[in-house]
Amino acid sequence: MTDTGTPATEFVAPPLPSDEGAYVAALLQGQLDALNDLALTLKHVHWNVVGPHFIAVHEMIDPQVKAVRRMVDDIAERIATLGVPPDGTPGGIVRRRTWGDYAIGRADALTHLAALDSVYRFVIAGHRQAAAETEAIDPVTSDLLIDQLHSIELFHWFVRAHLEPSDGARPAADATVPDPAAGQFTAGPRATM
């Protein structure tokens, strides 16, 4: 590691200088951690959702888990391409993360979906920020993140659609994005079905 805490690189995809490659890899490591956490959280919800909307949510979650796991692999491989070893170890994720554990166990679908709304907001905000920060330095990485945002935002829409009232009225706007420094996700608006 260099003095800045950014890993030194021996190989970087041309034409990036090694310091820029290391910076981009560090940004990607944060998103790798967030996506690994998201995949585990989604699987946790899949196992613990109960109630009248069980089957809809249970079956909606598995394709999201599979897609997020593919995103994890793509980001890890991009980090390696940039000359930095990606770290997907549980201990590494826990050491680096700035957010708390998903705190809901066995619960009804709407409780889980309200919490997942916040989790998705957090991941989307991080991906958007990383995409913006890498746009001028490494458009390939920025494009990867933007491509992943398409699916992540689609999955977020699936979650949010369950939270809207059945009369089609939109719930009050909630632009709050969870603050990872607070160590927890804050639930978004929740409607009854």
pLDDT of amino acid 63 = 98
Asked if pLDDT for residue 1 goes beyond 70, the answer is: no
Q: Is the pLDDT of residue 171 over 80?
A: no
Tokens of 7: 């890993």
Residues 6+ apart with CB under 8 A from 131: 142, 145, 146, 149
Give me the chain's average pLDDT, please: 85
CATH class of 18-182: mainly alpha
| 36, two tokens | 């690994």
Whether the Cβ atoms of residue 26 and residue 6 lie closer than 8 Å to each other? yes
> Per-residue b/e over 164-182, b at no fewer than 16 CB within 10 Å?
eeeeeeeeeeeeebbebee
Stated pTM of the model: 0.82
Structure tokens at 118: 């916040």
